[in-house]
Structure 1
Amino acid sequence: MKRLLPRIRKFSLTRNAALFLVTAALLAASCVLTLQFRHRTDPPPASPGAGIRARSGPLEFERIGNPARTVARDQHGTVVATFTDGARTAVLTGPSRTFAEPRTTDAEVVTKSWVRLLPKAWARGAERSDWFKTWLRSRLGSRDPDILATAFDYVAGAPARTTAAGVTYSGAARYGPGTTSDSGPARPGKQRMGSDFYDYLGTPWTFPDGVTRRPEKDRRRSVDCSGYVRLVYGYRSGFLLDSRDSPAGSGLQRTADAIAHGPLGVPVIPLTDRTPDVIQGLQPGDLVFFRTREAPGGRIGHIGIYLGLDTADHPRFISSRKNANGPTMGDKGGTSRLDGEGYYAQGLRGARRL
């Protein structure tokens, strides 16, 4: 019996070792399977650097792509701001508000998006800079007028406001002066093209290159489509304006075609000669470009500002147009939607984020 004890102990130890090895192997296999499962369920990054997160105070910043941009999330994971690389336009989440124009449409845009301009174009990592932290503290949650609110300062019925010097800088605008008479309101469809923001103001304007443009007296309180964009984004919001109608300009150019083909901002719907198949990449404040019957040679003849989805889930924009005799989000002179079979939906050719 004494001779058997060492053998029994040896056998027991050997069996325990075997059990340990088997258990370890099973645990290792389980870990491998778990890692493989997690890897398969993780979504692929949208672009190089996508999914990288960094904290700055109470906010968390995440990189995503198409186009490359940074989103800021609060402690609940809710997106509170979006910043696109190469663009000054930022979309912040704020109090809900409603944009409507009951004189011309039943559509309403109810949105929590507030569109504001950064002091400089966004670049990856800018959330760590002092200028951005100061800017964000002053803008996040602010109810000061943004790009969208400013755009509605010129629709029919908007009240007039003047500067201390007596210049009327907001209030209902028309598209342009009538061709048959300068007395009374202009008749839709009978306007000349070419009213810029300084025509609306009725004051001369000197551009950064030293060129001074003088308003035409009969164009006061008038803006065409690109003049309206320059009034909202440039004069009112501080985006640099160019005196030239050149795609090579450093500021916001004079015509829709020059802005569409220019270097400013980021294309979010590439410019083509046909209606785009997909428009989901738009965000409020983006500029949208249209081919129209009046523009020769396939040029871009019209420009507007994207507002977002209306309460019927249709993408809606606002622009200054002839048939409506001024800025409108309504359906007079063409439905202000980017989807469907309407004139502007079929004429859409691209979009750009300033």
Structure 2
Amino acid sequence: MSRKTAERKPNSRKKAKGPGRRRAIQTLVVLGLLGTSAYLTVELRDKQQETAPPVQSVGGSGTAAGKALPSGERRFERLANPARTVVRSGDGAVLATFTDNARTAVLTGPSRTFTEPSTTSAKVTTDSWVRLLPEQWKEGSEKAAWFKDWFGKNLGGKDPDIFAFAMDYLEGAPQKKDARGVPYAGDAQFGPLNPKGSEAGDMRLEQSDFYDYLGIPYTFRDGTVEKPETPRFRAMDCSGFVRTVFGYRARYPLMGKDVKGDGLPRTANGMARLAPGVPVLELTGKRPEAIDKLQPGDLVFFEIDKRTGDRLDHVGIYMGLDTDGKPRFISSREEANGPTFGDKGGTARLDGNGFYATGLRSAKRL
């Protein structure tokens, strides 16, 4: 859950590092990792000031394996509700899905299996790779030069995607550091212990964002500087987890607080009501009657704390169907003390009458 109530005063913007220095640092990192045959990706967004961390190819429980994708003819088909373009191979197999006014794309790639045996017996085996487009999709974008280049590089590729980033913060995930020595990945907590809390009663404090986990100040595009709090080091609440995965790692623009704009707001409620993207499950104040419109990578929003009234107080990332055919999501939770797609503190499924299933209220595709 995420309910950030206190605003911090903006400080002066940090002076950005020069492009020559940035390139030099990236070159040293690449040379260092080539010796161990690790794959390195460093991606920068024009509107983001912070240096993107180097990320390794998928490993561990998400090891990539599978057959090569079919080649030959590709057909672009338009579908509605929501408006989207589906790419099919000559034999009719779906290769990718792009939704109008969204940057989140789902590409078919090598199959992976994600497991978390400490919290669930369920497994998620998927050939869906969730990536961010350089810009929002619109009808006819397949004819643009940027798309042809992007699609050629990413279809069937094994570079880390949204799911790979998310798995970097599960219990026991190994620590990874960037060229500056900042730990950008590894086992994350939900937040520090609440001195006034109790079991199942706000035992851990919320409001831990990605910069708290990193332990470094972060300058947002509007010049606001947020400084980490030492007790929150290596912690992220539910919205902080989403901002870490989509924002700091995948480079979706971030807002410093809950305001409407072209970036991801701070809280679950702000993401659901203010963030750009496409409503997939409309917010009506009740549980959606059907969830069949969901696709992997969608943000799912919940109302599970009665004290917050109509505010949406929890957010996660939809993963798709697990091996039992049940719709499963991943989020950072107080009960599990960090990111999980397991069932500690509540079954992490969107169907049935469980805690999170009954609290589901809406979904959005960024």
TM-score, normalisation: structure 1:
0.81
> Aligned to 1:130, which of 142, 145, 149?
145
Counterpart in the other structure of 2:264? 252
Distance 1:129 1:187 in 2: 54
Given that residues 334 and 342 in structure 1 are in contact (C-alpha distance below 8 angstroms), is that contact kept between their aligned partners in structure 2? yes
1:239 pairs with one of 252, 268, 276: 252
Contact in 2 for aligned 1:260/1:352 (Cα 8 Å): yes
2:315 corresponds to 1:303: yes
Q: Of residues 208, 230, 234 in structure 2, which corresponds to 1:221?
A: 234
Query: Given the alignment of the two structures, is residue 104 of structure 1 paired with residue 116 of structure 2, yes or no?
Result: no
1:77-156 counterparts in 2 under 5 A? 77-156=92-171
* TM-aligned CA deviation for residue 58 of structure 1: 3.1
Deviation at 1:294, TM superposition (A): 5.4
Give the Cα–Cα distance (whole angstroms) in 1 for the partners of residues 215 and 169 of structure 2. Answer: 15
1:158-203 Cα shifts (integer Å, max 9, x gaps) = 110000100000001000011349xxxx988521110000000000
Secondary structure of 2:253's match? coil
| CA distance, structure 2, for counterparts of residue 124 and residue 276 of structure 1 | 28
Q: Determine the C-alpha separation between the residues in 2 that align with 1:136 and 1:255.
A: 32
The CA deviation string for residues 90-138 of structure 1, in whole angstroms up to 9 with x for no partner, is 0000001001100000001110000000000000000000000000011
Q: In the alignment, residue 91 of structure 2 is paired with which amino acid?
A: H
**Contact 1:249-1:262 at 8 Å conserved across structures:** yes
Instruction: Summarize deviations over 1:13-51 as a string: whole Å, max 9, x none.
Output: xxxxxxxxxxxxxxxxxxxxxxxxxxxxxxxxxxxxxxx
Larger fraction in helix: 1
* Distance of aligned partners of 1:116 and 1:295 in 2 relative to their CA distance in 1, 3 Å threshold: farther
Return the alpha-carbon distance in structure 2 between the equivalents of residues 68 and 318 of structure 1: 26
Partner Cα distance (1:180, 1:187) in 2 = 12
Mapped partners of 2:78, 2:261: distance in 1: 30
Question: What is residue 215 of structure 2 aligned with on the other side?
Answer: 202
- Separation (CA, whole Å) in 2 of partners of 1:276 and 1:243: 30
Q: Given the alignment of the two structures, is residue 164 of structure 1 paired with residue 182 of structure 2, yes or no?
A: no
Q: Work out whether residues 96 and 108 of structure 2, in 8 Å CA contact, stay in contact via their aligned partners in 1.
A: yes
Q: How far off is 1:272 after superposition?
A: 1.5
2:243 pairs with one of 230, 234, 238: 230
Please give the alpha-carbon distance, in whole angstroms, between the structure 1 residues aligned to 2:290 and 2:252.
Answer: 28
Aligned-partner Cα distance in 1 for 2:288–2:235? 31
Give matches, 1:279-294, under 5 Å.
279-293=291-305
> Is the contact between residue 265 and residue 275 of structure 2 (CA under 8 Å) also seen in structure 1?
no
Structure 1 contact 178–187 (Cα < 8 Å) conserved: no
- Which whole-Å deviations, capped at 9, do the CAs of 1:219-248 have from their partners, x for residues lacking one? 0000000000000000000100001212x1
Letter in 2 for 1:277: E
Q: Moved runs in structure 1, 4+ residues, more than 2 A?
A: 186-189
**Structure 2 residue identity aligned to 1:100:** T
Amino acid across the alignment from 1:323? E
Contact 1:92 1:116 in 2 (8 A): yes
Equivalent of 1:74 in 84, 89, 103: 89
Q: Distance in 2 between matches of 1:210 and 1:113?
A: 36
Cα distance in 1 for residues equivalent to 2:339 and 2:172 = 11
- 1:222-281 per-position Cα deviation (integer Å, ceiling 9, x unaligned): 0000000000000000100001212x1321000000110114110000011111110000
1:77 deviates by: 1.3
Of 281, 284, 293, the match for 1:269 = 281
Could you tell me whether the CA contact under 8 Å between 1:200 and 1:221 is conserved in 2?
A: yes
The share of aligned pairs that are identical, in percent, is 57
| CA distance 1:187–1:273, change in 2 (3 Å) | closer
Q: Does 1:64 align with 2:76?
A: no
Aligned-residue Cα RMSD (Å) equals: 1.5
- Contact 1:187 1:325 survives alignment (8 Å): no
Look up the equivalent residue of 2:153 and give its one-letter code: S
